[in-house]
Each structure stands twice: as C-alpha cells, then as structure tokens.
C-alpha cells in the first residue's frame, strides 16, 4: 500500500487521537526505518522508547516466533514458563520481591496505585488513600492515571476524575511537606520526567523523599515506564539513585516492541494482592513475556555501559553543533532532552527533521531523543549529520 492509500483509510476509519507525521512506516532494521515509498529514516524515537533492541533484531524475532509457534496465549489460571522466567530475571536483577504483569504503562501504574491503596487499607483502614505526585509528571491516559498526572492540561473533559491525588513540585521538599497529611499513603514519581520534558530529579531530593517516605510509612512508588529497561544506562533508573522503592512500574521498552508491562513490589508489599483483588486477561502473555525475557538477557552490563557512552556521545555532539535553535541537553543515558530556544517551535523542528530523514520526539518545549539502545555509531553519526544540516 502507498502512503496516500493508508492515509485515506486512516482519515475515514480511525479516530484522530494523534496528529501524525506524513510517514507510513513499513519496515526497519536496527535503528533505521523505511517508509512505504522506500525512504530511509534514522530513528531517534524507538517508537516512544519501546523498540529497545531496534527493529527486526534476529534473536528477538526468533524468541517471539518460537513462542508464538508453541503457545501464544493461556490464561492466568495456569502456570507458564515465560512469565515465571521474566519475573525471576526482574527480581534477581533489582532486589525487588515479586511482580504482577500488565500490558501497558497506564495499566501498570493503575496496578501500582491499587497496590499502594490496599497496602494502606489493610494496615490503617479507610481514609488513607491519597497519593502525592509531582507537577510536570505523566502517568498515563486512564481516568485514574490522568488524575495522577501533575499537569492541568490533562485534567479536562472526562470528569469526574478519580479522587485522591495531590501535586508537589519536583526537587522541592517544602512543596511535598505542604501537601502532606494524615490521608497520604504513597508518593509516586518518575526519576526522569519523560513527557514533561526529560527532567531528571535531583539526587538530594530523591534521597530526602525516600527518607520521608520511610519515616511516615508512605510507599515510594517509582514510575519506570519510560526510564526502565536499560534506557537510562542501568536496568532501572532507581538503581542509579541508590534508593529502594516499595514498588516500580515498567512497560514501554521491556519487551522490545510488544505490549508488556507490570509492577514490581518490594518485600513489604509482596502479599498485598491476593487472588481476586487484581487481574488482567493478557498480563504475562507468553509471547510478550518471551520477548521480555530475551530483551532482559540482552541488557547485560556491557550493553548498559554502551547506553551510557552513546548517550554522552550524542549529547556532546549536539551541544558542540551550537545550533541557533537548540540549547543545552539533559537526561540520563539514552533518554535525552534538548532545549529548544525561545522563538522556535519544537513540533515544527521535529516535522522538519522527519522530512529530512530523522525521526525525533518532543517533550515539554524541547526535543526528546530515545534511540534504540543498539543504535550503531554509523547510524548515530548519520542522524547527527541530518540534525546539523537541517537545523543550521
Ligand atoms: C508512556 C508513559 C506512561 C503510559 O504508558 P502507556 O503504555 O502509554 O499506557 C506512563 N508513565 C510514563 C512515565 C510514561 O512515559
């Protein structure tokens, strides 16, 4: 099918929840994507942080097709090896106690919110269900995760929203204390705010927040939907911050391209969910879990150290270009934000770059780069060359 044919079907039959770039993706290899017209693009997006091993990775394809040929799905009423092995890998590499699987980031955060409220209910009874989140956060698109998201633009249209969220400023303990109260059961944060603009939390704030949580028996919930699965240069970002969360949600890059997510619980929360208190038909699906197993195997120390090096290389090269429209870079590992200077529009810049063969994301007022973790030096250099030529 041609781009025009696909676009016509999309316009007529698909709800317009996204304004798309004028590209119809057809296939990819590593960090390069080809459209239906045969044009190549260097991908600095990974499908919004999903395709951590890039496109058509041979081992990944093998793991997925092997499992699809054996058992594509069986309900959670039965045991199956793929989810059990994935849970083992996640726990042994993070020190968390156990896992509940889900299918998306929002759903994983919903599970984490339910876990926190039930932990508190079991111990203290009703009236202690409030969760503090941060301004500029993003936690998902369900009614509850929209309510958890600390951005007013998301609190529209869909009233009534779920109660029980209060918002504090990032890197500001006074602001956290201001919204504290006897009704609080947890604090939920992204360690690097993704959609909000790639804003890493300061170490000192995170350390003090973790201390306060421990003191008040508030659960420390870390949304690692975007920062997880090696994106920041450690398997999970919390491992770089030296904290021990009570629960960690994940999704996006964990299965390298298939819908998969979940929440890991620490020792204190391992038995909060009991049969019947939470569930999902697809959670832990064998094919998605086999993909996650393979991704986790590949995310060894060597690949993680390459993530840190590549992230640094990209940031140094971009800052050295000294482009009129771009400012400083920020981020952690290969989760990179680039400041867009006043007078320039990030969405217009992204559209221009796409036109010239480089896929990038926006976040807040800036550009956001989430390249596949396996991107080669050649692909990075080609992408950087397009960036420099187009934006100069
Ligand atoms: C993308 C994202 C979500 C939502 O994930 P979905 O899979 O789109 O539901 C939640 N939290 C963070 C930090 C995210 O980046």
- Contact of 74 with 286, CB cutoff 8 Å: yes
Question: Best mutation site among 18, 140, 261 for ligand 1, i.e. most ligand atoms within 8 A of its Cβ?
Answer: 140
Q: What pLDDT score does 13 carry?
A: 98
Mean pLDDT of 280-294: 98
What are the two backbone dihedrals, phi and then psi, of residue 178, each rounded to the nearest 5 degrees?
A: -65, -35
Q: What pLDDT score does 45 carry?
A: 98
Instruction: Measure 388 CA to ligand 1 centroid, in angstroms.
Output: 30
Minimum-distance ligand 1 atom for the alpha carbon of 223:
13
Instruction: Measure 52 CA to ligand 1 centroid, in angstroms.
Output: 15
pTM score, whole prediction: 0.98
Minimum-distance ligand 1 atom for the alpha carbon of 141:
9
- Of all residues in the chain, the percent with pLDDT exceeding 90 is 100
Q: What is the DSSP letter of 147?
A: H
Q: What pLDDT score does 228 carry?
A: 98
What are the two backbone dihedrals, phi and then psi, of residue 132, each rounded to the nearest 5 degrees?
A: -90, 125
Q: What pLDDT score does 380 carry?
A: 98
133-191 pLDDT, tens digit each:
999 999 999 999 999 999 999 999 999 999 999 999 999 999 999 999 999 999 999 99
Beta-sheet strand order (sheet of 366-369): 326-332, 335-340, 366-369, 361-363
Instruction: Measure 305 CA to ligand 1 centroid, in angstroms.
Output: 25
Mean pLDDT of 297-322: 98
59-107 pLDDT, tens digit each:
999 999 999 999 999 999 999 999 999 999 999 999 999 999 999 999 9
Residue 263: which residues within 8 A CB-CB, separation 6 or more? 99, 100, 102, 108, 109, 111, 112, 115, 247, 248, 249, 250
Q: What pLDDT score does 123 carry?
A: 98
Q: What pLDDT score does 72 carry?
A: 98
The answer, yes or no, to whether any atom of ligand 1 lies below 6 A from the CB of 67, is no
Instruction: Measure 243 CA to ligand 1 centroid, in angstroms.
Output: 22
Mean confidence (pLDDT) of the chain: 98
Give the SS3 label for residue 228. coil
> How far apart are the C-alpha atoms of 261 and 107, rounded to whole Å?
8
111-139 pLDDT, tens digit each:
999 999 999 999 999 999 999 999 999 99
Instruction: Measure 141 CA to ligand 1 centroid, in angstroms.
Output: 8
Q: What pLDDT score does 220 carry?
A: 98
Q: Where are the beta strands (DSSP E) in the chain?
A: 25-29, 32-35, 40-43, 98-102, 130-134, 165-168, 184-189, 192-193, 199-200, 219-223, 247-250, 261-265, 326-332, 335-340, 358-359, 361-363, 366-369
The answer, yes or no, to whether any atom of ligand 1 lies below 6 A from the CB of 336, is no
The closest alpha carbon to 94, from 305, 330, 299, 258, belongs to 299
- Contact of 134 with 193, CB cutoff 8 Å: yes
- Report residue 3's pLDDT band, with 50, 70 and 90 as the boundaries: very high
By the 10 Å C-beta count (0-12 exposed, 13-18 middle, 19+ buried), 96 is classed as buried
């Amino acid at each position: 099918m041609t781009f025009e044919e696909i676009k016509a079907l999309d316009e007529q039959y698909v709800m317009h929840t996204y304004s798309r770039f004028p590209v119809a993706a057809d296939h990819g290899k590593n960090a390069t994507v080809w459209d239906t017209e045969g044009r190549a693009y260097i991908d600095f997006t990974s499908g919004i942080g999903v395709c951590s091993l890039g496109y058509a990775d041979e081992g990944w394809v093998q793991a997925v097709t092997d499992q699809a040929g054996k058992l594509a799905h069986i309900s959670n009423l039965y045991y199956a090896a793929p989810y059990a092995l994935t849970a083992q890998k996640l726990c042994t590499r993070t020190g968390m106690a156990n896992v509940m699987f889900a299918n998306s980031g929002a759903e994983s955060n919903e599970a984490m919110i339910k876990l926190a409220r039930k932990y508190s209910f079991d111990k203290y009874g009703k009236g202690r269900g409030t969760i503090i989140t941060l301004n500029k956060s993003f936690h998902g698109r369900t009614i509850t995760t929209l309510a958890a998201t600390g951005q007013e633009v998301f609190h529209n249209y869909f009233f009534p929203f779920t109660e029980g969220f209060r918002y504090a400023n990032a890197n500001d303990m006074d602001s956290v204390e201001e919204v504290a109260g006897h009704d609080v059961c947890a604090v939920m944060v992204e360690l690097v705010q993704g959609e909000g603009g790639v804003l890493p939390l300061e170490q000192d704030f995170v350390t003090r927040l973790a201390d306060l949580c421990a003191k008040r028996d508030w659960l420390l919930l870390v949304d690692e939907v975007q920062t997880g699965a090696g994106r920041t240069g450690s398997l999970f970002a919390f491992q770089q911050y030296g904290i021990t969360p009570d629960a960690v949600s994940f999704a996006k890059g964990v299965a390298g391209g298939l819908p998969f997510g979940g929440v890991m619980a620490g020792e204190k929360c391992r038995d909060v969910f009991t049969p019947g208190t939470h569930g999902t038909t697809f959670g832990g699906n064998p094919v998605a879990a086999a993909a996650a197993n393979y991704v986790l195997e590949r995310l060894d120390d060597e690949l993680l150290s390459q993530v840190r090096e590549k992230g640094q290389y990209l940031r140094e090269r971009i800052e050295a270009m000294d482009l009129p429209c771009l400012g400083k870079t920020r981020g952690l590992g290969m989760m990179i934000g680039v400041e867009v200077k006043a007078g320039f529009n990030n969405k217009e810049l992204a559209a221009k770059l796409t036109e010239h063969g480089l896929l990038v994301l926006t976040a807040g007022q800036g550009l956001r780069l989430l390249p596949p973790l396996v991107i080669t030096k050649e692909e990075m250099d080609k992408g950087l060359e397009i960036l420099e030529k187009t934006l100069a």
